[in-house]
Amino acid sequence: MTSQGQGSAPSSPKSLQSSDEQSKKRSSEGLSDDDGPPRKQPRTDGGLQLGGSMTPSIEDSPQRLRWYLAQLERCLSGASDGVPRDPDEGTRTRAAQQYLSQAHVAKVLEKGFALLMEQDMLDDLARMYRLYRSVGAQDWLRSKFRDFVKKTGLSIVMDEGNNSTMVVNLLALKAKSDQIWEKAFLKDDAFGHTLKDSFESFINERRNKPAELLAKFLDSKLGPCSKKETVKDMEGLIDKVMAIFRFLSSKDVFEAFYQKDLAVRLLLGKSASLDDEQTVVSKIKAQCGPQFSATLERMLKDIDLSRDLLSAFRESEESRDGRMGDVDLNVLVLRTGTWPKIPLCDLQMPVRLSNHQDVFRSFYLRQYPSRRLTWLPSVANCVLRADFPKGRKELVASLYQTVILLLFNDADEIGYRHIRDHTGIDEADLKLTLHSLTTGNVRLLKKRPQGRNITEDAQFAYGFDFSHKGQRRIKIDTIQTVQVLEGLKRSDEKIAQDRGYALEAAIVRIMKEHKSLSDSDLLRKLLAIPVRSVDLTKRLESLIEKGYIARDKTNPLLYHYVA
């Protein structure tokens, strides 16, 4: 055996053998050098050591951490690549176990865990999990997993400048975390609970906004503007969104916004698939119960019943009434109290259109004589056929736009006052509707004098020279209808009101059962409702004024139920 001097080894067979012996000796003292990272000069600034051999710096290199973890696992497995290299396996195993002590585990996790998570290094995370579980240190790993998910999620939720991408980023974080939990942490129950708790923690740090944006995200996917997703893709996406929904404490906020968006999609025929709509509502019901989803279910039921009703109408005697002409009538019958409140308008309908309403009303009241129909022209729409010198076009317009355009069948130019008096449209809505017909890409009317302001003396002429290349069916901007429907979405006040009623009802139920409770005990029993102490105080004062509960005369924090 040659000596291990610092000079160059002689070029002889013995020197080659000596090199091999050196490798064996290093192996017996600690980690094998096989497959290690490129050698560097020994560090003296706190780098980890194992049996006298320097371990790699890991704070900026996941590849070095990968090597380090692999070496630890090799040591503990008793052989490298299945071939024993170390005659003293006990020494090597003890050295490896030394580096699975609490101090070293904490140091490695602090420097390297986030690197593995950020780069989705599943095999190395799995190796880390196996190693730390073998010495009972998996809770340290679980703590770092929780910290990473919460920190990443909080940065997504609290970034007000990126609201438009919040849901997409949350879905990506959930998919990433689930994959790591399943493949690296082997679906460990404790890690699964940690993942759930982490999402519930950070997603509710920003009150109400995640719930609102989740509803809007679904609206963008369920409407006609969504990307062409297959049924399988859509069902999978719904499942992923509902997995995020499960963590929300403000589920009532989600329901309020989702209900308004659903109403808009159904009223304007903008739902890409009623089956997908039903899937979402069914999943909401499964998570929150039938009472929570009842309104959404009734809305979809109204659409189904309207389809059946329309089929029956088209086969009825009324549909053969000579007044129907060649106009195809579609009607949605909406139950009062189920749908968002839509503003009414006493619109003066042209005889040709009002005849259709009268015929359908006769049919409906013959079926349901005790009911009453109220027409909602502000959300109705029509398809008109219009002949221009350059060809026939189909115009998709709101009912307000339709009523105005039909006036020009009898005159080429009409004044503002005449239009107002012969339509009955509210002045604000009338001006919006006239703007939509005189500005934008589809200018069917010409206004005198020019300009955006519409005065009492304004005159409107039909645009006979209108042309729109390449399209036979043209959709006119419906400013007024959009504003009506957007008004339905301003639900913050209604959400607060409904939440207040629900909170008061819950307080009365609990107080009736327990008779007397302190405010802190009452708050704990209201776990099912997201409530802040300031909101609880406000509702307690309201119930005291209404005579449902009373404050204790000696203890102001104690409340009694009043029978």
Tell the residue number behind the tokens 């709101």, with chain if given.
398
Q: How far apart are CA 425 and CA 431, in angstroms?
A: 9
Architecture of domain 380-489: 2-Layer Sandwich (3.30)
CA within 13 Å, CB half, 193: 3
Where do the H-state alpha helices sit in 338-385? 351-367
Per residue of the chain (563 residues), what is the pLDDT tens digit?
Answer: 434 443 333 333 333 333 344 434 443 344 444 444 444 443 333 333 444 443 445 555 777 778 878 877 777 765 444 444 554 555 445 555 555 555 567 777 787 888 889 888 999 999 989 988 887 888 989 999 999 999 999 999 999 999 999 999 999 999 999 999 999 999 999 999 999 999 999 999 998 899 999 999 999 999 875 444 555 678 899 999 999 999 998 888 899 889 989 998 998 888 989 999 999 999 999 998 898 899 999 999 999 999 999 999 988 888 776 666 777 889 999 998 888 888 888 899 988 888 888 999 999 999 999 999 999 998 888 998 888 877 788 888 999 999 999 999 889 899 999 999 999 998 888 998 998 898 877 888 999 898 888 888 999 998 887 777 767 888 887 765 655 565 555 556 666 677 777 788 889 989 999 999 998 888 888 765 666 677 788 888 889 988 899 999 999 889 999 87
Among the listed residues 88, 185, 170, the one whose alpha carbon sits nearest the alpha carbon of residue 129:
185
Tell the residue number behind the tokens 């939990």, with chain if given.
181
Q: What are phi and psi of 560, to 5 degrees?
A: -125, 145
Q: How far apart are CA 108 and CA 73, in angstroms?
A: 15
Among the listed residues 531, 469, 486, the one whose alpha carbon sits nearest the alpha carbon of residue 505:
531
560 residue type, one letter? H
Query: Domain-by-domain residue ranges, the chain?
Result: 31-141, 150-306, 380-489, 492-561
Strand, helix or coil for residue 412? coil
Tell the CATH topology of 150-306: 5 helical Cullin repeat like (1.20.1310)
DSSP 8-state secondary structure symbol assigned to residue 477:
P
pLDDT the model gives residue 369: 94
449: preceding bond cis by omega (within 30 degrees) = yes
What does the longest C-alpha to C-alpha distance in the chain come to?
A: 115
Are 144 and 109 in contact by the 8 Å Cβ rule? The answer is yes
Q: What are phi and psi of 101, to 5 degrees?
A: -75, 165
Among the listed residues 367, 340, 380, the one whose alpha carbon sits nearest the alpha carbon of residue 487:
340
Just give the CATH number of 492-561.
Answer: 1.10.10.10
DSSP 8-state secondary structure symbol assigned to residue 160:
G
Are 405 and 511 in contact by the 8 Å Cβ rule? The answer is no
Cβ within 8 Å of residue 517, ≥6 positions away: 510, 511, 525, 558, 559
Cβ within 8 Å of residue 461, ≥6 positions away: 412, 413, 445, 446, 448
Q: How far apart are CA 378 and CA 525, in angstroms?
A: 45
The token pair at 6 is 């610092």
pLDDT the model gives residue 182: 96
288-295 LR contacts (CB < 8 Å, sep 24+)? 288/251, 292/251, 292/255, 295/255, 295/259, 295/338
Question: Beta strand pairing status for 381-388 and 445-448?
Answer: unpaired
CA within 13 Å, CB half, 173: 25
Cβ within 8 Å of residue 328, ≥6 positions away: none
Q: How far apart are CA 465 and CA 453, in angstroms?
A: 23
- Check if 380-489 and 492-561 are the same fold: no
Where do the H-state alpha helices sit in 161-289? 166-179, 189-203, 209-222, 231-245, 251-267, 274-288
pTM of the model: 0.74
